[in-house]
Amino acid sequence: MTNTATGATERTPVIPLPPTAARAATAIGAVATAASTFLAWTWTTDFPGDLTVTGYPGGLQVLTLVAALLALLYTVASYRIRGLRWLLPTGSDNAVALLAIGAFATTWYTLIAITTELGGIVNLEPGGYVAGAASLVLLLGALGLPLDRHTKEHTADRPALALALRISFAKRPLKAPKALSAGAEILIVIAAYAVALGVFTYGIDTSYAELFAGFLITTGFGVTALGQAGVLSRLSAIAAHQRPIAVAAAFAAAAAFPFTQSDDQYATIGVNILVFATVALGLNIVVGLAGLLDLGYVAFLGVGAYAAALVSGSASSRFHTIHFPFWAAALTGAAAAMVFGVLIGAPTLRLRGDYLAIVTLGFGEIFRIAVQNMDGTTGPNLTGGPNGIHDIPDLKMFGFDFGAAHDIGGITLGRFANYYLLMLLFTVIVVTVFSRASNSRIGRAWIAIREDETAALAMGINGFRLKLLAFALGAGLAGLAGTVQAHVTFTVVPEQYQFAGPVPPNSAFLLAAVVLGGMGTISGPLLGASLLYLIPAKFQFLQNYQLLGFGIALVLLMRFRPEGLIASRRQQLEYHDDIPTDSGPVATVTGKDVAGLTQAGA
């Protein structure tokens, strides 16, 4: 209301909901929401997932059930019950609120989808109304909890619900953990990667778009809730302490994926994700470490693919009489891409910023147009022109035919599962190279150049030579991935290597994967590439609006999480003024401080 004497606007005080009542409402809402999934939500099987059965959940109801049970579990854990305290290392109720929002969003997304696709609200059964009301109770109860928020306002006398849409969640510092034995830490690491494998397998095996959308909603809020609870930070610390075991467990979980599939339908998506992710990780050296904006990076993937195709023994190859063994073809593709990286980088890397981006964009388009015209008519007969090089034979190494199905332990691995395991080996190589490079003296020099090239040059760093090295190394890694891609797809054509196109990988999507996942990290581009490949693959009906959707997603990301989904500590300090440390105090560091420390370390 307005003070008539001063003309100032005064806020009406709001009486907050008692925490005990809020927790009780949250628990009741979670139980009711979980129970509603055992009721029929619609009367017809026209909606995918069969939500017409009373007695057990199906389709999207399973996701609602999982989200509601997790919200209930964390509500109980918020009472600090012995045996459940490890679920809330931070002791914050933010995790409960996020899980409640996730359950509400998944439930109402399902109800809205049923109403929209079937033609009206009349298609909802009573169970659907119960689910909507129960999830609303869950949401209101959770938002009434005393939550930690980023705000400069005094909120001690204001309930969470009054500020829910205006103030973002803040994260409490972790409390000192209890010491665990080495055996317990190893079991936790193995269990964490097993759960991650299960979640990834469920997501990639979703058979219709509605279920995948619900999976994204539930998983997104669930992972964010674990971050607010401090579970992810605690797991990260344990993994760092047991680094060899964590690396082995990650590789084992990734290698186990083909054994969870009954056919090659989703193994195809898996191998393409690895190709996309490996190329994105190579681009991360150029963009994330050295700070060079390369908009034509997909051309290096094409150079490697064409080089491998030319020496593959394909009948459509200009050199069809030459058939290199795969290890030689892989080295040829990587070397060819690296040479092109040096040839392009030498005259262009003296440019900076927008000028460098424009030149690399031009190189990418020149490469695509050049290979399209090398058909023997408008240019030399080398690449097959628009038809490309096709009928590339499957790989055979040490008597193992990658194109044939193989039985291992009673499980049949098809063609794409074989190539998935091969590409996984290449991904491990690229991850190793990136890790070694980023932690080396050269890697610190790249970071110094990225932060402030002028200051780095003043410190004695040879900027041009190191930028050229980053360009060549990134190009070589992309070419290495291209050699596998050529054999996986059977054919190499110019349309595969555009700046922006309907099907990844292309330069725009590769750059988006690095920015979305988190520049300068290893797991960031892997996660970003997985999301950017899975979303178009699952949402085929949005094919004409992919660039619009990703543009909106990147705008929102830059607004709310500019450091990416998985950010390095340096970027967190650069983009956020107040970062809580594990010991409790708040560290206030500016971007200039980070740049200065980086240059001094380099």
3-state class (DSSP) for residue 337: helix
Alpha-carbon distances of 484 from 330, 407, 491, 529, rounded to whole Å: 8, 22, 11, 17
Same domain, 108 and 156: yes
> Closest Cα to residue 525, out of 544, 545, 549, 504?
504
For the chain, the average pLDDT equals 81
What are 537-542's contacts with CB under 8 Å, separation 24+?
537/269, 538/206, 538/209, 538/212, 539/209, 539/212, 539/213, 540/209, 541/209
Same domain, 545 and 574: no
pLDDT at 462 over 60: yes
Helix extents (H) in 167-208:
182-204
Write down the pLDDT at residue 173: 60
The domain of 329 spans 261-387+411-566
Same domain, 276 and 359: yes
Question: Residue 195: inside a domain, yes or no?
Answer: no
Question: Residue 394: inside a domain, yes or no?
Answer: no
Same domain, 455 and 582: no
Beta strands 411-413 and 406-408, pairing class: antiparallel
Question: Residue 134: inside a domain, yes or no?
Answer: yes
Beta strands 411-413 and 396-397, pairing class: unpaired
Same domain, 546 and 579: no
Same domain, 111 and 150: yes
Percent of the chain beyond pLDDT 90? Answer: 20
Question: Residue 329: inside a domain, yes or no?
Answer: yes
**Average pLDDT value for residue range 111-116:** 93
Question: Residue 230: inside a domain, yes or no?
Answer: no
The C-alpha atoms of residue 253 and residue 247 are separated, in whole angstroms, by 10
Q: Tell me, rounded to whole angstroms, the distance of Cα 108 from its chain centroid.
A: 25
3-state class (DSSP) for residue 420: helix
CB atoms within 10 A of CB 480: 27
- The Cα angle at residue 62 between residues 58 and 63, in degrees rounded to 5: 140
Question: Residue 403: inside a domain, yes or no?
Answer: no
CB atoms within 10 A of CB 326: 17
Write down the pLDDT at residue 218: 94
**Average pLDDT value for residue range 307-330:** 84
What band does 129 get if pLDDT is binned at 50, 70 and 90? very high
Write down the pLDDT at residue 392: 86
Same domain, 137 and 177: yes
What band does 542 get if pLDDT is binned at 50, 70 and 90? low
Which tokens belong to 225? 């809730």
> Closest Cα to residue 316, out of 388, 378, 226?
388
More confident residue, 176 or 56: 56
Write down the pLDDT at residue 600: 37
pLDDT digits (tens, 9 = 90+) for 39-60: 999 998 889 888 998 988 988 9
Greatest mean pLDDT among 257-266, 436-445, 592-601: 436-445
Write down the pLDDT at residue 228: 86
Same domain, 371 and 516: yes
One-letter amino acid of 464: F
More confident residue, 62 or 6: 62
Same domain, 35 and 138: yes
Write down the pLDDT at residue 571: 64
pLDDT digits (tens, 9 = 90+) for 235-257: 888 888 888 899 899 999 999 98
Question: Residue 536: inside a domain, yes or no?
Answer: yes
Same domain, 126 and 83: yes
Write down the pLDDT at residue 36: 94
pLDDT at 28 over 90: yes
The domain that holds 336 is classified in CATH as 1.10.3470
**Average pLDDT value for residue range 562-574:** 71
Beta strands 578-580 and 411-413, pairing class: unpaired
The C-alpha atoms of residue 247 and residue 240 are separated, in whole angstroms, by 10
Q: CB of 280 within 8 A of CB of 286? A: no
**Average pLDDT value for residue range 300-324:** 85
Tell me how many domains the chain contains.
3
**Average pLDDT value for residue range 182-204:** 91
DSSP string, 104-126: HHHHHHHHHHHHHHHTSGGGB-H
Percent of the chain beyond pLDDT 70? Answer: 84
Write down the pLDDT at residue 546: 67
Which region among 78-82, 146-150, 375-379 has the lowest average model confidence (pLDDT)?
A: 146-150
Write down the pLDDT at residue 105: 95
Question: Residue 275: inside a domain, yes or no?
Answer: yes
pLDDT at 570 over 90: no
Same domain, 179 and 287: no
**Average pLDDT value for residue range 373-393:** 82
Write down the pLDDT at residue 73: 92
Same domain, 281 and 174: no
DSSP string, 373-390: H-BSSSS-BSS-GGG-B-
What band does 180 get if pLDDT is binned at 50, 70 and 90? confident
Which tokens belong to 127? 């169970």
Which region among 331-335, 407-411, 470-474 has the lowest average model confidence (pLDDT)?
A: 407-411
